[in-house]
Amino acid sequence: MLQRMFSRSVQVDDQGFLCLTDLWNASNKMPNSSPKRYLCYPTNKHFVELVKQKVGSYVVYERKDGSVWADPMVTLSYTSYLDPGFELFAFDIFDRIATDQPVPPLNDFLSLMVEYEKIGSEYNLPFRRSKITTMHN
């Protein structure tokens, strides 16, 4: 399955892992923000290890073509790394939940991304490119 984010396709595998390399390409390939670079930072390595312990299996893998794939929790962290506006949006959603304020219906990471595109202008986002749409192969 493909998702359209920032005018580009983002692949999703059968396990629900998203292609971090596609997200990086959608953010115009800023040199210091590649998935491999993100995974080199000690705090990010530690986060990935914590998610792995929680889930009980691998949460990041690399394909032969060099693309990096991650489960939704790691993808959420990587997306926040790429776009601080998205991170602020995610914290705002958490704050709304914690204070019993209304939140949009969110079923998974992709629905969070769709909602972000709808109201993202409130967060002064430097990396917004276009709407997210779902595409099926």
Domain edges within the chain: 1-82, 83-125
Query: Higher model confidence: residue 20 or residue 96?
Result: 20
pLDDT tops 80 at residue 132: no
Strand stretches in 1-137, DSSP E = 2-5, 8-11, 18-19, 60-62, 68-70, 133-135
Amino acid identity for residue 44 in this structure:
N
pTM above 0.85, yes or no: no
What is the mean predicted confidence (pLDDT) over 32-40? 91
